[in-house]
Each structure stands twice: as C-alpha cells, then as structure tokens.
Structure 1
Amino acid sequence: MEPTRSVLDSGGLPNDHEDAHHIRRYEAHGGDARDLVYLSLGETWTAVAPGLAATLADQVPVHAHGYTLSPYGLPALREVLRAYIARTHDLPPSGGTPYDVAVSQSGTRAAMSDFGRLLLRAPRTADATPTALVPTPGWDYRGVLAPLGYRLRSYSLCPDQGWQPDVEEVETLLDGAGRDALLVLNPQHNPTGTDWAADRVRGIIGAAVAHRSAVLIDDAYYAIHHPGEPPTNALRILMEEMTPTSAPWLATRTLGKQFHCNGWGIGALTAAPATLADLARIAQERSYGCALPLQAAMAAWLESDAADTFLHQLREAYATTRGRVADRLHRDLGFPPQAVHPGTCSAYLRFQVPDRFVRDGSEAHYRRLCVAAGVLPGAGSMTASPGAPAPRARRPSAYVRLFVGQPGHVLDEALDRLTRAGLGW
C-alpha cells in the first residue's frame, strides 16, 4: 500500500509495533511495502473526510496556533462537543446535570491511561491490587492498564450467545475483584462487530454500580453502525443507572474513526465535572493543550451538515462492504457461514482461521502466511488471556480481522491474493 512507507520508517531506531515487524519481514523476503495490502488497523491514511480537510485549510483562526489556557481543550470545540454528545447520545444538555464534556487532545488511549492513574490515587489498603475487567475478544487495554499496575481479568464475549457478554460472569468477576475494580465496556468497539444488547449493558453497569466499581466506556465506534440500526447507548444507560455515591466513570469517544483522521488525536471525554477536573490536572503534568488548529477545524466541521452527511455515507459504505467481503469469503475461499462474522458495528469483519493453520491456539501462523501473500490482516483479538479464564468462558478458535474501510478494489485484491495462496477454508 503506497502510504505505508511514508508512515513506517523509523530510521535506525527500534520500532516495537507488531505490524511494523510483519512489514519488515515482508520486505526481508523481497516484498515491497508499497504493494502490501494493509488491513490490520482501522486506517487508510488517505480517506480523511474531504470537507474536514478543507475546513482545516480555510477556517482556522489565527489564535488557534497558540496555547490554550483551558485544560479542557479549545473552548470552541468543547462547546460544540457538549451539544454533539448530548444530541448523539440522547442526553439532557450538560448544564446543571451530573456530567460535562472535555476534549481528548492526544488520543483516547492517553485519556484511558490518565483515568487509570486517577483511580490509583484514591486511598486503598496496602495489600489491595487494582483489578481491571476487560472484554475478550477486545482491544489493547492490557497495554494501557498493566503498566500502571492493574491486574487484568477478562470476561468473555460468548460465541454461543451471539458474541454477547454474560452478565452473571461479570458479576462473579466483580465479586472477586474487590472494591478497587475498573470495569471496561466497549459495546460497539469490539473486534466481533457485534452490538451488545441494551439489557446486557444495563445489567453489567448495574452490577458495577452495586459493587461501587469504576466504569470506563470505550465508545470509539459508537457512530459506526449499520444504517437504520441505532447502537446500544451505553453512556445513556450509565447516566440512568448511576447514583450520587457511584464510583468515578469516564466515556471516551474518538472522532478519528468516524471522519478518518486518527492522527488528529481528537475526541470527547464525558464524565462528572470533578472527574474531568482531576483528569485535566493529570494531563497538565505532562503537557499543555495541543493540536489546537485541528480542534478549531473540528469545531467548525461538527456544526456543518456535511459532517452528518459524510457519516451517513460512511455507514452505508461499511455495511455494503461487509456484505461484499463476507460473500467473497464464502464463495471464493470456501469459508462456511459460521466462520465469518460480518457484524453490524465498527469498521472490521472478523473470520475464523482454518484449523490447519492454527498453532497453539493462535492466529499468528496464519497472519504470517497472509503477509507472505501480500496481505496484512489484524489479530482477531488484542486482549491476551490474563490468568485463568472464568469457568463459563469458552475459548473460540483463532480469528483474524479485516479493516473494511479500504476501497473496494483494494479489498478485492487482498481476497484474490489469499485465494491464490490457498489460505481459504
């Protein structure tokens, strides 16, 4: 893929990103990174919303090139985000309510790390080990929370329950986690592409409230769903279930996923005002506000009709592409229906690795074969298995995922290469 070289090169310095290792191996065997079809992360590098790029070029006020004295982001964007979060999550306006909104200025991953640090500053017994409960399959919450000292425990998205979480399993894990637990939810931002049922989300959040556990909602793909199928609104459910004595909570929502501008690092942080103030103090320990020209452009863009139009078209494109890729996996590569999970949310399609390519329960060998064929898929889950699985957990076979945001001809070329390499079912 042509842009890959432009964003990969680290010179003589080490690069520990797993995908970088795969690309280097591909090059070492004679491949050209410009020819590799990259389908691992949700990134195209070239598909930024055209109207947003034009806004950045034409509508950035001169003061946006300096510092901001507000630790909550550029005031213009924060005001727009407060209305945007209220509208898209069907919440009352933030004034006089138990929540407010700030700008995530250096990526939601950094905000999650700051939230983890904030929770660790609360008084605790000397022998207490903070525990984070994370969904599996899931994203790299271990990479964020384990370095802070959290012990990770996973709760399963069960294939025999349509990749839904089990409320009883989460309750059991909360029982054993103690009073310092952090519960992570990602009802749409999960590799299966499944939208968690509202009653299950409510049951899980209710259990967290009853245990006085902190809650982190990762809403990265809340806006990316099949047209006409509104996603489960975990933030609203949380607002309805919380009490005055609830533990701290945070909802993160990146804007990069829905407008193809991941590198901007801009998103929304929704939490109680006191929590946002504490997070701002932690963020200021390492940096001032940043990316203010980008924030100014995003503020103008979100208030335009073009932003909603782009998002609607993106949803339609993803829905169409999921069906098209799933059909080719069935027809041309022989995958049975139960092995392919197109999903209705996020920007990925996930499918099961044929048993003959599975080594030690992992998809790693299959991914290496795909890279040798000129295609780099993502791992089916970025959540390692931390400790023994819960008794009810059933570990599925290995999976990989494909980012469906690439142009159709790129995806067709990737599937053609996998077919020619004999990497079908």
Structure 2
Amino acid sequence: MTLASKLPLVGTTIFTQMSALAAEFGALNLSQGFPDFAPDQRLLDRAATAITLGNNQYAPMTGLPALREAIAGLISQHYGRTVDANLEVTVTSGASEAIFDAIAALVRPGDEVVLFDPAYDLYEPAVLLAGGVWRRLALTAPDFRPDWQAFEAVLGPKTRLVIINSPHNPTGSCWQEQDLAALWQAIKSQDCYLISDEVYEFIHFGETAVSVHKHSQLRDRALVVSSFGKSFHLTGWKLGYVVAPAALSAELRKVHQFVTFCTATPLQAAMAEHLKALPEETFTLAGFYRQKRDLLRDLLAGSRFKLLPCDGTYFQLLDYSAISDEDDLSFCQRLVKDIGVAAIPVSVFYAEPPAGQRLIRLCFAKEDDTLKEAARRLSQL
C-alpha cells in the first residue's frame, strides 16, 4: 500500500532538531523555549500532595471547577473582564491542543485563515488538516508590526478565521491598542472569528498588556489561548486554557473531548490551589524576565550581533549580517558545532522568508550563568 501523507511537507520540527543537535555536541541550548531552572517548589509540592490524596482519575472534560474558577479570577484581576467559569473557560492539555481544537472546530474545507508571518509552526498544519487554506501576511523587521492595508486587502468572503499572537513568538514584538482597533475595523463586517494566542501574556515589558480580553468587540468572537506552562516555568505539564463566549466554547469542547477529553487531574488541582494561595506571581513574571532580557542584551552589546527590540516573551532576535552571509539554518548549525550555542533560525517561521534576512532566535528563559556563558561564546564571533 502507498500512504498519501496529509502533511507531506511536515517533518521533525526545528525545535526538536536543534535540541537534539545541542545534546549531541554538548551545547548550551538557547533554542527550544523552555527554562533550565526549577519551578516554584511550593507548586511541585502541591502536585505531589494532589497525587497522594487520590486526585488521579478523570477530571471533568472542561476542567476542574476549582481551576476554572481560579482562571476566571485571574482574568478579572489582570484584565477587568468577567467570564463565566462554567460556560466560557476550558482547560486543555497545553496551548497547542487548544489552538488545534479551535481550528478544527471552526475551519471547514475551503475556508481561508489569515496568519501573520513569522508564525508559530503549529498554525499552518492544523489549518491544512481541517481542509482550510492559509493566507499569510509578512511582518517586517525590526518592529514586526502589521500592515493593516495589506491585511484588509487579503480579506474576502471565504475568510473564516484570523490568528494573532501577542506577545509574539519568535520576534518578541507586542501589539499596541491601535493594532486591535485596526483589526476590529477590518473584520467587524466579516463573518469570521479570531484566535488570539496569548501564551506569553504575562511576559510583556511595557506598562500594560495589550490583550483581546480588554477589547469588548473582538472578545465577543474570539478564543483567547493561554498557557500555565509558560507562566509558571512548567512546559512539561502541558496545562493550558481557552476563554471564549459560550457558543464558541461549546464548539471547541466538542473537539477537545475527542482529542484528550481532559487534562491531568493532579496538575489541575495543584494549579488551582497555587493560584488561590499566590495570585501575585503572574504580576511579577514580567519583571523576572525583564532582568534576564536586559542581562543578555547588556552582555551582547559589544558583540558583532545586532539586537532587535524585545518587548515581550522570553525570546531575543539577533541579526548576524555583520558576521556571516550563510543562511540562518546553516549558521545555527555552525553555532552548535563551533562555539556550543544552540539557536533557532527565524526563516522556519515563514512560508516565504524575506530575501537577505539573517536572523536567529535565542531563548533567555535560562539561568543567569547559562546566559553569561552563552553570551561569552557568541561574543567571540
């Protein structure tokens, strides 16, 4: 038999490739977006207690009530938005599952989905599996802000969904209030929905976060996706959630129940208890990562790399044009082998990378000593 792949162009992700290469050569891994430091021990202790106390059977499909209530409280604290924990909050096995479920629930064969490049690599395969057609708009360095005239031009009667991501992976850019206003003006007469990927929502370095939660019109047709893994340094827990109006949540849940049904019960219980006991932790996360961003930027200030702005996330882009004419994948592979630092080539986030662009992404969710040694090695180039 001949198997016809539904995703013929998809292979092993660049994150897996670069992490494997880093392990092979013993390199400092600043490629994949996960911390190399321990999460809060109190949260780990709560998970251990939850397991010991017997929270080890299926949770409700939509999530433990205590966690959904805690999420509703978190949204009220940060954004002043009141949500119904029963009808509008769904706990998922990571943000990736949430995004996949949302796309599967909303996109039908032939529907068009607008993505902004560079884009997280999950979006496009999920659209293709749903039978959709993607329309990608390029964001331009160094600020990576949307061109709203170009956005309006790509909208049409088949536009079913728009996917946005702020704070933005991989660029570290953050949308501003006028961007949400322009988005609303463009789509308000369209029969389309919105996925707002806000997994780095608490890692922003401006005075206030710009979120769809705060935009009264956009949020009425949006699914806002968040990640406890990013916010509490627990990417391996795969604990995410979606907030959406009841009608959209109902459609999302129809898919969710057949993808994972529910997320690990003791981890949900631990997170619910942690949010109840320490709600201020999400308010201090931006300052924690600002220190790491500034440390890395200061250490690289004298290098031959050009540092692009970083307004959010825990990613820093570097322009290596003054160092090499290599393509970014070749350059990243050489970094691992020659100086022992793993990075991600930014071209992999594009359908059509801009000609002549030479950018790599570093993750600074690392111990300070890791960042210092990585910067020392990079500054030798």
TM-score, with length taken from structure 1:
0.79
> 1:328-407 to 2 correspondence within 5 Å?
328-331=299-302, 333-335=303-305, 339-354=306-321, 357-359=324-326, 362-372=327-337, 373-380=339-346, 382-385=348-351, 397-407=357-367
How far is the alpha carbon of 1:198 from its aligned partner?
0.7
How far is the alpha carbon of 1:261 from its aligned partner?
0.6
> 1:33-48 to 2 correspondence within 5 Å?
35-48=26-39
Offset from partner CA, 1:284-333 (integer Å, 9 cap, x none): 2233323000000000011123x424x444322321222222222221x2
Partner of residue 108, structure 1: 95
Offset from partner CA, 1:200-222 (integer Å, 9 cap, x none): 12211331232122210000011
> Number of aligned pairs?
369
Equivalent position amino acid for 1:146 in 2: L
Partner of residue 295, structure 2: 324
Offset from partner CA, 1:130-186 (integer Å, 9 cap, x none): 2221112231122332333332222232336x32112211111113xx334310111
Alpha carbons of structure 1 residues 192 and 22: separation in structure 2 relative to 1, 3 Å: closer
Partner of residue 111, structure 2: 130
Contact (CA 8 Å) 2:55, 2:265: kept in 1 or not?
A: yes
Equivalent position amino acid for 2:81 in 1: L
Contact (CA 8 Å) 1:250, 1:270: kept in 2 or not?
A: yes
Partner of residue 62, structure 1: 53
How far is the alpha carbon of 1:232 from its aligned partner?
0.8
Contact (CA 8 Å) 1:217, 1:235: kept in 2 or not?
A: no
Q: Which runs of 5+ in 2 are unaligned?
A: 1-10
Partner of residue 369, structure 2: 409
Equivalent position amino acid for 2:335 in 1: C
TM-score, with length taken from structure 2:
0.88
Q: In structure 2, what is the Cα distance between the partners aligned to 1:259 and 1:103?
A: 16
> 1:4-153 to 2 correspondence within 5 Å?
16-25=12-21, 31=25, 35-59=26-50, 62-68=53-59, 70-94=60-84, 100-104=88-92, 106-121=93-108, 129-140=110-121, 141-153=123-135
How far is the alpha carbon of 1:114 from its aligned partner?
1.3
Q: In structure 1, what is the Cα distance between the partners aligned to 2:167 and 2:260?
A: 31
Contact (CA 8 Å) 2:145, 2:175: kept in 1 or not?
A: yes
Contact (CA 8 Å) 2:364, 2:371: kept in 1 or not?
A: yes
Identical-pair percentage:
24
How far is the alpha carbon of 1:52 from its aligned partner?
1.3
Alpha carbons of structure 1 residues 39 and 143: separation in structure 2 relative to 1, 3 Å: farther
Partner of residue 285, structure 2: 314
Q: Pick from 231, 251, 255: which aligns with 1:282?
A: 255
Contact (CA 8 Å) 1:363, 1:400: kept in 2 or not?
A: yes
SS of alignment partner, residue 344 of structure 1: coil
SS of alignment partner, residue 231 of structure 2: helix
Alpha carbons of structure 1 residues 240 and 396: separation in structure 2 relative to 1, 3 Å: farther
SS of alignment partner, residue 185 of structure 1: strand
How far is the alpha carbon of 1:95 from its aligned partner?
7.6
How far is the alpha carbon of 1:356 from its aligned partner?
5.5
> 1:215-230 to 2 correspondence within 5 Å?
215-226=194-205, 229-230=207-208
Q: Which runs of 5+ in 1 are unaligned?
A: 1-14, 122-127
How far is the alpha carbon of 1:45 from its aligned partner?
4.9
CA RMSD of aligned residues (A): 2.6
Alpha carbons of structure 1 residues 415 and 24: separation in structure 2 relative to 1, 3 Å: same
Contact (CA 8 Å) 1:108, 1:254: kept in 2 or not?
A: yes
Partner of residue 166, structure 2: 187
SS of alignment partner, residue 346 of structure 1: coil
Partner of residue 214, structure 1: 193
